[in-house]
Every structure is written in structure tokens, then in C-alpha cells.
Amino acid sequence: MKKISVEHLARVEGSGGITATIDGKVVTDVKFTINEGPRLVERLTVGKTPEEDVNLVPRICAICTLSHKYAAIRAMENALSVKVPTKVHLFRELMHLGEMIESHSLHVYYLALPDYVGFPNAIAMASQFDLEVKIALEMKEFGNHIMKTASGRYIHGENPVIGGFGKFPTKEELLWIKSRAIQFMPFVLKTVNLFCELDYPDCPEDNTVYACCNPPKNKYGFTGDEIILSTGATINKEDYKSLTNEFVVSHSYAKHSCYQGKPYSVGALARVNNLGERLKGKAGKMYSKYFGPRWKRNPLFNNAAQALEILYTFERIPRLLDELLKYPEDPPLVKYSAKKGKGTGIVEAPRGLLIHSYEVAEGLVSHTDIITPTAQNAEDIERYCYIAAQRLLENRKEDKIRDRMDLVVRAFDPCISCSAHLAEVKKAPQDDWKEKLEEVKKKGSPIYVGVGKRTRSDDGLGMELALKLRNRGISDVWLEHEIAQRGGPWRNKHHRPLVFLDAVDFREEPGKIVLLPLHYVFSNTNLSHKLLPFISGEMHYERLKNSYVLGIQPESVQEGKKMSKPVRLSMAKVLVQIVN
Amino acid sequence: MEKDKKEKLKIGIYELTGCAGDALLILDCEKELLDIFNAADIHSFLMAKSDNIDGELDIAFVEGSVSTEKEKKELLDLRKRAKVVVAIGICACFGGIQAAFQSQEEWRKNFKAVYGDVKMTHTKPVQSKPIDSYTPELYRFPVCVECKWNENDCLLNKGIPCLGPITSAGCGSVCINHNLPCVGCWGPLEGANLSSEFQLLRDYGFDHDFIKKKMANFSGTGMADFLGKIEGDKK
């Protein structure tokens, strides 16, 4: 067994690493780790006013600061029924485009390009690409300038607030931005050519599902009220959890996400894949010229997609400013009186779909959920690194694995500071489940929920146990298929504990019993399905704290096989303990 | 370029837990960036380069706050390797939003709410808090001074809860220039008249807890003593 790892990923935002474990000729595991410490941002916002929340959450990340602000404002305005005038919408779009330019030009030229032309950093690269490095810096500065004009400063500007802006720029400032945007066009076109013509390695390549905001009116753009997938499906923003299904993993401070049990990707490549046909003008022409089947399968093309989006942005800005200039009057902040509400806001951060969801009660935030793009990409980052490592190993290019994984991770333009959900879980503890069950019972009479599939040998144990409990006269027992009809017991906040009964693979002896808090649902236990991670993602914090999994290590979960003997014995033990 | 290499300062830029904004702001010096890299030997700058060296340094710039045991070790190691360690940004100086929880007890409670009884295998988490002593440089005056320079109307006079009087200057009173109240993000000003600000906001009719939370948003541990005291007064 041997490990190949990049301990500190360089030229990314924040601190993280990637490790592949190799056993002979097989890559057994790839893990994307996040080294940032716990910040508890979501908890921090609870009890704050909506305005304070909008001040605080952009601090999650400096490079996506305005995307966080935008998503938070959209969510809050949605929750509190605040309607802002057109000029506010247009100016918000401008600030967001500024961030796209700033972040994309930093990433493609400074973080990504050095790899493809053989330099350790962009400054060293300047010896050979003098002009590119200099103009790209100017382009990045232009993005920063827009952000500063709109928000008040480069990073964490406070000008955008719920209900509008504290202050709007003058006509002269807007006209300057317009003329400067036009000046950049020749370099922007060169940028697209450069990044679309780079020689991207064909390893790793594989299909995935791409997700992004669906901008209204069949336009390209970076906001919307629904999510569109490359499968053609759309999801209303309030139902975002049916896309993200967040779950905790054991090796990273960020939660991971899966859609229908599979990894998916967000980011510029997702947007170009899903919305590219909607591009018009020069960006539309470049799309027709360069877009091809490899863009659908190869994450490295995210660099090309970002270059294409830089072009879209530079074409959009002059038109947007013409529209903005039609509104000479600066609208005052929209006042609102709502003290409670619930709402979600979605925007595209430069590196992908960003979701903020809030509940406000008595004028204060009572629940916060923030899902960042890098957290959503984590599963696909690992999967693509796995594919790359395995193929290089088969082709006897083991020495290339480290650098290739580095390249793949960087292509996703990860933003590690953004991992707002910081969590880490260790392997199943060796606690005595009987004692724990008694403790749970002390909190209130538990509701037992049997989950699993009865045709798949030991996976049927949850359902089997639940049915047996019912036969013994225990009344509060639910079966998996009844959950939907009853609306899900986790939706209410009452304080009776929930105990899920399920086969849980800890890689222990078959029949081993454990009782775990539900948020111990982790990746190195192989749950029979993704139902529990899904449910735990849907839960209110208070509910989650009072939910548990009573798991038994299965021997086999093969279709059609009978239940194994050790599992049967353990089931009997559990039954006795619960009934008594 | 080679000949003056010996005289160049050896500099490292390090990121602990935070939003990485201070490191990004260095990259935001677009016009000066090439000059900076030419004028100094940038030994380590994880956000900008891959060829980083862990050796002796003349200056280590550190952003972010210590939030894990690993980061604590890293910082102590840096202290040994560098002649001068400079804390940059509110997280490094005061803990930032990571330090907004008032007491260790409160931090533990919230930590548990997120992570449950989970034992960290990675690296042990620690609560961000200020070190025993530090020397604040520059800006020994509040945001209000800059606000006056910019000829803004005082928002407190209009009854808007502005933290300008108790917040370190340096931002150029950017929020008030935009007709918005100061949120306190540059951290607490040493020697500010906290109780006067508190009383003023009370007089305007703001709730005790509202003011306390507002003051703690960005400067939590930086004014923990004061906030603890007013909590005591309430009782």
C-alpha cells in the first residue's frame, strides 16, 4: 500500500490537499482534504438580524465575496418579500460580472496557465509571456474596479444591502467602465483562443451531470430561480436539497454532495455545457468554433469555459451599462416590515452554483444553510482524480499521478475557504450500543424508522426489525415507504428521538451493532443507499441532534440472497433491548 | 536581477483559517505585483506559487486565525523561522468572525451543535482568540475621524446604529461614504469609549442584546471583557 499526495495544493484559494492510495496495480482510494479549521459560520448567523447576516456571510470567502453577498440578499429578499426596482437588479448584475472577471482572469492566467506552459508561477511565466501577464493583471484590476465601484471596496464591500444599494455610482463612472470594457475586447478574444486551443490531456475523461442556475428568458447568465441539469431536468431553488443531498465525510472539513447517488459538477464548464447554446454575439461564435464532445467529459476544459465566460462578460457589460444609464434616478433603499419568512437565493459564483437558504423568525435569523460550489464539486474532484490516477498507473506512468491530480483539482478552481460546512467524523466508535440506546430512551420515547431493501439479503434488516417491533406491539414504528405519505417525521421539531434501523457497513465483523448520532453518516461507512444522508440534509439542526442510526454490520447485501446468520442473531439482541 | 539577489528580503505569506482575503488583496496589487516579486524573495505564497520553500525568513506575513492545533504548530514554527512576524487582517489580529463567540463555553456549545460528539481525527479544533500581547500599528483613531475627513453626516445623530466610534480606522469610512452604518469589520479600537457607544444606542431605543451582538459581530474576543461586564450589569 502506498500513498501519492499533494499535501498543500498551491495556486488555489485556501488550504487543502489530495491523496491517492495505491495497492499494487489498483488505486484503492482518492481523498480531497480540506485543512481549514472550523468557523461555524452558519451557527454564527443564528440570532443575528437579516442585515447583520448579509454583513457576515461574505466573510466566508474573499474571492467569492460578492457572490455570497448576492446569494444572501436574494435569499433574504425572498424570505421577507422585498421587491427591488430594475435599477437595483441591473447594478447587482454589474457587480457580479466584476467578480467573474476578477476571479476568472486570476484563475486562468495566474493559477492555471503556468501548468500548461511549464512554470511554477505566473511571475516566472512573465519572462516568456510578458504581454499576457501584464494585460491579464490589468483585466483582473478592471474586475476589481467594478467590484469596488459597486460594493465600496475590493473585498467585503458593504454597499449592496437588502433593499438596494447604499449609494449608486455617477454616470461618468459608469461610462468609464463601459469604455474600458470595450478597450479590452482584442485581448479578451486572444484569451479565448489561447485557452480553447491549449492541449488538454485526455486523461481523465468521463461523463458526469452538470448543474447550474437557469437564467430566465432563455438567456445566458449567472442567476436564476431554478437549477438546470445537463440531463434537461430543472429543480426549483427551494427544492435545492433534492440536488445537493449533503452528507458528512470522514476526511474533510467540508460536506460532500451527490445527486441521485452520483457525483455532479458545477462551475463555468457546467454553465457552458448547459447554457452554451444560448450564447450570442462573439461568445456565440467562439462557442460554435470550439465547443465539442470533450467539453462534456473532461474537467480540464473548465479553463476554456472560463475564458469563454470572460468574453461573454465583456460583451454583456456595455449593453448592461446602456440599460443602467436609462435610469438616472437612484432608488432609495426598499423598506420592509416582515419579521418572519423562509427563503432561498441561488447565484453562480465564479466556481459554480452557490446556495443560501434562511429562516427568519421574530426579526432574527433562526436557521441558515449555505452550500458552496467547491463542496458540491468535491465528489467529482475525487472521482476524476481517481480516473486519472488509475489510468496513469495502468500506463506505467506512476510518476505523473501527483502532477496530474494537482492539475485536475486546480481546473475545478476550488475555493477552500468557501467550505462553510466544516465537519469531520472518525471511524465508528466502539461504544456499547445498549447503554446508548437507554440514554436515547431517556430523552423521550423513540420513533423507530426501518429502512433498506428486503430483497438484498442483510440490507433487509431494517425493515425486518421494524416489522417485528410492530408485531411486538411497539406503536411508533415506520417503514421506509411510509415516510413519504407521512410527510417525514424529521420535518417537525418535537423532541422525541428518531432512531433509524439500517444495515451500515463499517468494515467490521458481520453482526456488529452500533448506535450513532445521525450526523455520523459518513463515507467510510458504506450505507446501503443515500437515503440517510438525504434525510439528515433535510433536517433542522435541533432535529438532527436528536436523531440516531441503529446499524448492524451486514455480511452481504447481494440481491436475492438470504439474510446471514450473524445479522439474524444481532437482530434478536436489538429486538430484546428495544422491547424491554 | 541576479546581482542584487543577496540583498533581497526573504518573505513568506501564510494563510491560516479565514476567507483568504488578505492574501488575495496582495494579488490585487496588480500594478505593483511584478515589482513586489522582483524586489523581494517570495519564499512562500501558497495562493500564488507552487515552488514554496520552508526556510528562514526575514518577514512572515500571516493572515487568518489559529483554528486547529495544526495551525498553532505552524504559527509557532513560523515564529522560530522568521525574524519578524506580521499579523495581517482582522482574523490574524483579533480572531475575526471565527472569534465572535464570547466565551469558550459558548464556542463549545456551538461547536457541538454543528459537529455533535465527533472526535476530530484530522487535527484538533481550537477556538480563535487574541494572543497575550501585540502592538497595533497605525490607525490609533476611530473610523469617525476618517468619516469627518470625508464630510459625511453622522449616522448616529440620525439614530442609525453605527459602530464607527469604536472601530479602528483605515478603511476610509467606506460604509458611511455609501450612506450605510459601520459594521466594525476592521476590529476594535484600543481605548475606545465602549460604554458611551453602548449607552447612546440604548438611548436610541435599541435592545440590550441587539447592541451586544452587533458589537461582537466582528470583534468578539477583542471586547470580551466589556461585553461580559455589560452582561453582568444587566443581571
Are both A383 and A494 inside the same structural domain? no
- For residue A191, is pLDDT > 90? yes
Are both A324 and A409 inside the same structural domain? yes
- Asked whether the whole model's pTM tops 0.80, one would answer no
Establish if A95 belongs to a structural domain: yes
- For residue A196, is pLDDT > 80? yes
Are both A287 and A396 inside the same structural domain? yes
In this predicted model, what pLDDT tens digit does every residue of B59-82 receive, in sequence order? 999 998 888 888 888 899 999 999
User: How confident is the model at residue A530, as a pLDDT?
Assistant: 52
The residue among A479 and B133 whose pLDDT is bigger is A479
In this predicted model, what pLDDT tens digit does every residue of A134-178 receive, in sequence order? 889 899 999 999 999 999 988 889 999 999 999 999 999 999 999
Are both A266 and A361 inside the same structural domain? yes
ipTM score above 0.90: no
Tell whether B2 is within 8 A of chain A (Cβ): no
A97: helix, strand or coil: helix
Are both A210 and A307 inside the same structural domain? yes
Are both A169 and A214 inside the same structural domain? yes
B18 contacts B44 by C-beta, under 8 angstroms: no
CATH of B3-98, one of 3.40.50.150, 3.10.20.600, 3.40.50.880, 3.40.50.700: 3.40.50.700
Are both A96 and A195 inside the same structural domain? yes
CATH number at residue A31: 1.10.645.10
Q: Select from A550, A535, A533 the least CA-distant residue to A466.
A: A550
Query: Which of A57, A61, A123, A159 to probe the B interface (max B CBs under 10 A)?
Result: A123
**Grid cell for residue B79:** 515564529
Query: How far away is chain B from the Cα of A497, in angstroms, using its nearest Cα?
Result: 15
Q: Which domain covers residue A179, as residue numbers?
A: 2-35+52-413
**Grid cell for residue B89:** 487582517
Q: Give the model's confidence band at A423: pLDDT under 50 very low, under 70 low, under 90 confident, else very high.
A: very low
- For residue A13, is pLDDT > 80? no
Establish if A460 belongs to a structural domain: yes
Helix (H) / strand (E) containing B45: strand B41-45
Query: Cβ separation of B18 and A417 shorter than 8 Å?
Result: yes
Are both A93 and A60 inside the same structural domain? yes
In this predicted model, what pLDDT tens digit does every residue of A395-422 receive, in sequence order? 888 888 988 998 999 999 887 666 433 3
Give the total number of structural domains in chain A. 2
Are both A381 and A525 inside the same structural domain? no
CATH number at residue A563: 3.40.50.1450
**Grid cell for residue A203:** 486523461
Establish if A332 belongs to a structural domain: yes
Are both A396 and A451 inside the same structural domain? no
Residues in B touching A56 (Cβ below 8 Å)? 97, 217
Are both A277 and A334 inside the same structural domain? yes
Query: How far away is chain A from the Cα of B83, in angstroms, using its nearest Cα?
Result: 24
Annotate A340-376 with DSSP letters as a single string.
Answer: -EEEEEEEEETTEEEEEEEEEETTEEEEEEEE-HHHH
Establish if A308 belongs to a structural domain: yes
Closest residue to A423, CB basis, from B52, B115, B117: B115
User: How confident is the model at residue A421, as a pLDDT?
Assistant: 36
Are both A136 and A236 inside the same structural domain? yes
**Grid cell for residue A150:** 459597486
CA dihedral for A239, A243, A249, A252, sign (positive or negative): negative
User: How confident is the model at residue A507, as a pLDDT?
Assistant: 59
A548: helix, strand or coil: strand
Q: What is the mean pLDDT of residues A505-515?
A: 77
Q: Select from B31, B50, B40, B33 the least CA-distant residue to B12.
A: B40
Domain residues of chain B, as ranges? Answer: 3-98, 143-227
Query: How far away is chain B from the Cα of A133, in angstroms, using its nearest Cα?
Result: 9
Q: Give the model's confidence band at B216: pLDDT under 50 very low, under 70 low, under 90 confident, else very high.
A: confident
- For residue B127, is pLDDT > 80? no
What is the Cα–Cα distance from A84 to A81, expressed in whole angstroms? Answer: 10
B121: helix, strand or coil: coil
